[in-house]
């Protein structure tokens, strides 16, 4: 690249700054604000949106039905059994939490690294994080045998004088996930405050003015406000950054701390984090591509974004592939019969198919094709790829949870696992919940941070350059 000739009329470069262009040319402060705010403030709710809401709402209702039945009958309506005592619930939990990671990575780490391109996608990526954490957080609560006592996992002062058992990774999970959820919500909300101010000012109806007024917490665009806002954002980004690494690390401890072959692996923390980011970016793509199409946001979410996300996927996918490779290598190199058998069983046992689904979806297909920029910027390709990677990442968790459990130490207690309709309904139901929340978000909250986009406009930049030149 370095030797490449500088072409002045390259449409990917900003003619003024000479930097790679993030958003399409021809945007102004006014057009950006109008573009984004009008999606929310328009009084016309599109039929498509209503239709989608109806579908996702029905799916969310199915979740309600499935969980109600679960509470009435017990977790036995799921396929979990001996020896596979964890099933879809944990797979889905890890998967959803992983999805959330991209949002935090985009909003926090990329902010700290001053990656301007993140601004277009960070709002909805963060929203995605929160909704994914909602879906994820549901599972640990409902998967316990006596969900009405799930609060015993929290360390709260009680008359029994009993504390949780602090050596258990499940307890660490409770802290990790609840911290993560809190920080994500706060970070997201703080980022929204200036935009809520804009919305308040632009809203026509009294009701909307009132609501957005409340939400904007008295934002006036004062310089002091901006200063505090920037500081808060930076601090929160600083807080959220370790969470990107720690949450999935802690979740990987659920497995890595156990003694089960296939779980008991020191490589789990990094590979879980990489996998989480991998699947998270895939999910951002799955959402961004239709969003920009439907709401005509091509100017704000550009091919450059898609391309960049493809690169991140390529990198994290590479780490994940290294993780898989290491597992196989260690199964042989460790000379541990447990590991060796586990790997053989994972690949060639009765559930071997799931391993090969995982390898094809996570490694074979994406890591061979994502190298090509042409394909990386091909929206259809990237959309399909994002679905493939998310399938693969779901199977990764399935392989880890189920295929390690169903044939463990004592061959006498080997078993199998066959998901029931309630498993599928619950999983599909969380999609409904996720989509419902996301649709509501798209309709009522500016999905792209207006003030951050505006900072990237040439008009904002030029002024700075002129001032610097003085």
Partner 1 sequence: MTPKTEAGTGAMETGKEQGLTLAEVRRNLQGVKGKKYWRSIDELAGTPEFEAAVLREFPDAAQEWVDPVSRRGFLKLMGASMAMAGLAGCTKQPDEPIYPYVKAPEDLILGKPMYFATAYPFASGSVPLLVKSDAFRPIKVDGNPDHPYNRGTSDPYTQGTLLDLYDPDRAQETTYRGDNREWTEFMMTWREKLIAAKANGGADIAILSTTVASPTLARQWKEAQALYPKAKFVQYDPVNRDTVRTVLGTKDVQYSLTGADVILSLDADFLSGSSFPGFHRLTREYSERRKLASGPEGATMNRLYTVESSTTTTGLKAEHRLALRPSEIPAFTAALAAALGVSAPVPSYGWTDAQTQYLKAVAADLKANAGKCVVIAGEQQDPSVLSLALRINEALGNYGKTVSFTDAINPMPTVQLAELKGLVNDLWSGKVDWLLMLNTNPVYDAPADLNFVDAMRRAKTTVHLGKHADETGSITDWQIPASHYLESWSDARSYDGVASVVQPLIDPLYKSHSAHEIVQAMLDESTKTPYDAVRETWQPLLAKSTDGKTADFEMNWRKALHAGWIDGSALPTAATATVAAINAPAPNSKDAIEVQFRPDPTIYDGRFANVGWLQELPKPVSSLSWDNAALMNEALMVRSGLAEQDIVEITVNGRAVKAPVLVLPGLPDNTITAYLGYGREAAGRVGSGTGYNAALIRTSETMAVAAGASLKKTDGIWGFAVTKSHYQDHRSKFFGGEGTGNNSLEADEALTRGIIREATLGEYKANPGFANEGETHPKVEREITLFPNWDYSTGNAWGMSIDLNSCTGCNACIVSCYAENNIAVVGKQEVRIGRNMQWLRIDAYFEGDLSAPKAHFQPMACQHCENAPCEQVCPVGATVHTPEGLNTMVYNRCVGTRYCSNNCPYKVRRFNFLLFSDYETESLKLMRNPDVTVRSRGVMEKCSYCVQRIQEAKITADKENRPIRDGEIVTACEQACPASAITFGNLNDKGSRVRKLHDNERSYAVLADQNTRPRTLYLAAVTNPNPALEPVVEEHAPTAG
**For 203-302, where are the alpha helices, taking DSSP H only?**
206-215, 223-256, 268-294
Q: Residues 402, 405, 411, CA angle at the centre, nearest 5°?
A: 135
Per CB under 8 A, 145 contacts partner 1: yes
* Interactions with partner 1, residue window 167-226 (CB under 8 A): 167-171, 174
Three-state DSSP at 20 gives strand
The count of residues interacting with partner 1 (CB under 8 A) is 54
* Nearest distance in Å: CB 415, partner 1: 4
Per CB under 8 A, 424 contacts partner 1: no
Looking up tokens 């599928």 gives: 424
Per CB under 8 A, 387 contacts partner 1: no
Q: Find the binder of partner 1 among 73, 296, 421, 463 (CB under 8 A).
A: 73
Please tell me the distance from the alpha carbon of residue 212 to that of residue 377, in angstroms, as a whole number: 36
Q: Find the binder of partner 1 among 62, 80, 121, 136 (CB under 8 A).
A: 80
Per CB under 8 A, 82 contacts partner 1: yes
Q: Which is nearer to partner 1, 261 or 317 (CB)?
A: 261
Please tell me the distance from the alpha carbon of residue 95 to that of residue 113, in angstroms, as a whole number: 26
Please choose, out of 8-16, 45-53, 283-291, 408-416, the segment that lies near partner 1 by the rule CB under 8 A.
408-416
Direct distance between the N- and C-terminal alpha carbons of the chain, in angstroms, rounded to an integer: 33
* Interactions with partner 1, residue window 309-348 (CB under 8 A): 337, 340-341, 344, 348
Contacts of 78 by beta carbon, 8 Å cutoff, 6+ apart: 70, 87, 88, 89, 419, 420, 422, 423, 426
Q: Find the binder of partner 1 among 126, 327, 408, 423 (CB under 8 A).
A: 408
| C-beta separation of 184 from 133 below 8 A | yes
Q: Which of 164, 184, 199 is nearest to 97 (CA)?
A: 184
* Nearest distance in Å: CB 91, partner 1: 13
Q: Find the binder of partner 1 among 24, 55, 215, 258 (CB under 8 A).
A: 258
Where on the phi/psi map is residue 6: left (φ > 0), alpha (ψ -120 to 50), or beta? Answer: beta
* Nearest distance in Å: CB 403, partner 1: 13
Per CB under 8 A, 259 contacts partner 1: yes
Q: Which residues bind partner 1 (CB under 8 A)?
A: 73-77, 79-86, 143-147, 149-150, 152-153, 162-165, 167-171, 174, 254, 257-260, 337, 340-341, 344, 348, 350, 405, 408-416, 418
């Amino acid at each position: 690249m370095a030797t490449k000739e500088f072409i002045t009329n390259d449409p990917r470069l900003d003619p003024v700054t000479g930097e790679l262009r993030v958003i399409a040319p021809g945007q102004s402060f006014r057009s950006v604000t109008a573009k984004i705010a009008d999606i929310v403030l328009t009084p016309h709710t599109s039929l498509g949106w209503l239709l989608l809401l109806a579908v996702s709402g029905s799916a969310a209702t199915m979740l309600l039905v499935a969980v109600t039945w679960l509470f009435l009958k017990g977790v036995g309506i799921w396929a979990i059994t001996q020896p596979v005592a964890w099933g879809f619930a944990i797979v889905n939990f890890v998967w959803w939490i992983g999805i959330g990671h991209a949002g935090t990575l985009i909003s926090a780490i990329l902010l700290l690294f001053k990656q301007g391109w993140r601004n277009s996608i960070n709002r909805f990526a963060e929203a995605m994080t929160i909704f994914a954490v909602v879906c994820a957080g549901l599972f640990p609560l409902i998967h316990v045998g006596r969900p009405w006592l799930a609060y015993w996992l929290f360390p709260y002062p009680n008359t029994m004088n009993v504390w949780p058992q602090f050596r258990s990774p499940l307890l660490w999970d409770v802290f990790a996930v609840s911290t993560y959820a809190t920080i994500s919500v706060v970070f997201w909300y703080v980022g929204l405050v200036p935009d809520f101010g804009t919305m308040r000012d632009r809203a026509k109806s009294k009701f909307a003015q009132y609501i957005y007024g409340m939400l904007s917490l008295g934002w006036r665009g004062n310089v002091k406000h901006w200063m505090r806002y920037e500081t808060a954002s930076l601090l929160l980004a600083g807080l959220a950054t370790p969470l990107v690494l720690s949450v999935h690390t802690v979740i990987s401890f659920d497995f890595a701390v156990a003694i089960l072959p296939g779980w008991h692996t020191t490589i789990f923390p990094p590979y879980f984090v990489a996998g989480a980011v991998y699947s998270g970016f895939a999910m951002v793509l799955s959402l961004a591509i239709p969003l920009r199409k439907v709401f005509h946001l091509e100017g704000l979410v550009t091919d450059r974004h898609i391309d960049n996300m493809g690169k991140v996927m390529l990198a994290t996918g590479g780490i994940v592939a290294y993780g898989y490779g290491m597992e196989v290598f260690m199964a042989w190199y460790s000379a541990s019969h447990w590991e060796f058998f586990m790997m053989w069983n994972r690949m060639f046992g009765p559930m071997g198919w799931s391993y090969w689904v995982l390898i094809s979806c996570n490694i074979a297909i994406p890591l061979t094709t994502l190298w090509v920029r042409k394909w990386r910027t091909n929206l259809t390709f990237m959309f399909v790829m994002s679905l493939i990677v998310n399938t693969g990442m779901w199977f990764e968790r399935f392989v880890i949870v189920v295929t390690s459990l169903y044939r463990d130490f004592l061959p006498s207690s080997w078993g199998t696992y066959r998901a029931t309709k309630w498993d599928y309904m619950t999983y599909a139901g969380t999609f409904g919940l996720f989509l419902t929340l996301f649709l509501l978000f798209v309709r009522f909250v500016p999905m792209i941070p207006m003030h951050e986009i505006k900072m990237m406009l040439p008009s904002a930049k030029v002024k700075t350059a002129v001032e610097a030149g003085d």
